Amino acid sequence: MTDTPDLEPTEADRPEWTKAHGPLRSFGRIKSRPIKARQAALFDTLMPRIAVPDPAKGPIDPQALAPEAEEVWLEIGFGGGEHLAAQAARHPQALMIGCEPFLNGVASALRHVEEGGLKNVRLHADDARAVMAALPDASLDRVMILFPDPWHKARHNKRRFLQDETAVEITRLLKPGGRVRFVTDWLDYADWALERLARTPGLTRIMTEGADWFAVPADHVVTRYEEKKLGDTTPIFLEFARDASR
């Protein structure tokens, strides 16, 4: 992603917990290349049926979105939607909520949903934080944050999605025993994320065998972004669970 100033949200659009550093956007461009006609059409036909309700209009009840769902997962920044769609196909009992501000990615996800005939996916074509603020306590079984924008420059670190405030908010949203998975291919961001998740009350790290953070979880889905190997390290996987006692 690129560091562009367009479409900066206003303060009025932000929940209180996002305002610790003032105006903040944790993603770059909103749209790059033209969206193919077929995918663009899905914004008019499919998107209205599977869109997450506007969080600005009030709380969002996941059970109302899919009363039959046994679990609720949230993927923050789903890129092209390959991972989201694959997990939805593997876990038809789970409602998959995906948030992505990059419109080309949303268009790609819509295509995956249509081609897969997926009925358990709901999409939000904007910043995930507004949806998170609208969700009730202990409403999610899993939160997935895969390859977020690293914002390399030190002065831009405050734009990284994973901050102390976001870690606290994720903890609020997880059910007891619920898990958050953070994946990055930038070593500095892995260190940053580990530090913040580890010091968040209510979260406990799930150690892989040998404490190897390069170990790929059995249920991981490799995406096109991951295959490009744009980072400075092999993908690093951090997984934490919300304490059952909280």
Query: Exactly one of 126, 141, 149, 185 is catalytic; which is it?
Result: 149
Active-site residue, 61 included:
no
How are strands ordered across the β-sheet holding 236-242?
121-124, 94-99, 71-76, 140-146, 174-184, 236-242, 203-205
For residue 201, the 8-state DSSP code is T
Q: Which amino acid is at 81?
A: G
Q: How far is CA 169 from CA 9, 18, 76, 147, 225, in A?
A: 20, 10, 13, 19, 27
Q: Which of 79, 68, 62, 60 is nearest to 178 (CA)?
A: 62
What is the set of active-site residues? 149
